[in-house]
Amino acid sequence: MNYSFDWSVLWRYREQLLGGLVITLLLSLMAMAGALAVGVSAGAAAESERPLLRRIAAGYVEIARNIPLLVHLYFWYLGLTALKIPAFWCGVLGLSLYSGAYVAEIVRAGLQGVPAGQRAAGLALGLSPALVLRLVVYPQALRIVAPSLAGLFSQLIKDSSLASVISVTELTFVAGAIEGDTFRTFEAYIGITVLYLVLATTIAQVTLWTLRSELVEPAMRD
């Protein structure tokens, strides 16, 4: 081993790294919002009483889950190149639809985890079905799914690295650029690995904390 490390390269490229980190964060946050919107709808549809809705939700989940994320990304970026969607938004779309299928499965499990008696009791008390969902079922389901959702979000952050392949200038892309400039391959990739670790851990903790905190509680205590 005659390789001499030069970690100063990370400091010299701090602005680029910070820029990449910001893009990774933005991309991930937008994709999380998208995945939640898609996933909660699909998860609720999968539990609905209408067979057609159930089948559409199940079809979406199977299709989205069984196609690689990279292919999702290329589909929006290259396949629908005629639409000229900017690379960043292709990343958001691809990540949202891919992760949305996993959110749907988590939501479905969460809804099934709330005892049926709770729903019946809510209805018996005279709440409307919509109120039962909002005040009784969802607050409990959210707490059940908190750990899985936190895991999924940290997975999503790591998955966002694939957007570099469709030329989104996020962290992995920046690492590649630093490597091209300086040949400091090891330093660049270890550097971003640490950043990913920090980012993924933080997002997972924030998710857990938010879903378990008072934010979703008041509805249950009033």
Partner 1 sequence: MGLSVLARNLPYLAGAFALTLETAALVIVGGTVAGVLLGLARSTRGRALRGAVALYIGLIRGTPLLVVLFVVYFAVPSLTGHRFTAYEAAVIGFIAFIAAYIAEDVRSGIRSVPRGQIEAALASGLSRGQVVRLVVLPQAIRRMIPALFNQFVRLLKFTSVASAIGVTELTGATLAVNAREFQPLPLLTGLALAYFAACYALSLVGRWLNRRYAIPG
Binding residues (CB under 8 A) for partner 1: these are: 1-3, 62-63, 65-71, 74-75, 78-82, 158-162, 164-165, 172, 175-176, 179, 183, 185-186, 189-190, 192-193, 196-197, 200-201
Nearer to partner 1, 147 or 176 (CB): 176
Q: CA 104: distance to chain centroid?
A: 12
Q: Which residues contact 113 (CB under 8 A, 6 or more apart)?
A: 140, 141, 144
Nearer to partner 1, 3 or 50 (CB): 3
- What is the rounded (10 degree) CA torsion for 107, 112, 113, 119? 110
CB of 112 to partner 1, least distance (A): 16
CB of 23 to partner 1, least distance (A): 14
**What span, in angstroms and rounded, lies between the C-alpha atoms of 72 and 68?**
7
**What span, in angstroms and rounded, lies between the C-alpha atoms of 130 and 148?**
25
Cβ neighbours, 10 Å, residue 182: 14
Nearer to partner 1, 144 or 187 (CB): 187
Nearer to partner 1, 92 or 203 (CB): 203
Is 171 within 8 Å of 195 (Cβ atoms)? yes
- Dig out the tokens for 189 from the structure: 């990739």
CB of 63 to partner 1, least distance (A): 6
The SS3 of residue 184 is coil
Nearer to partner 1, 69 or 136 (CB): 69
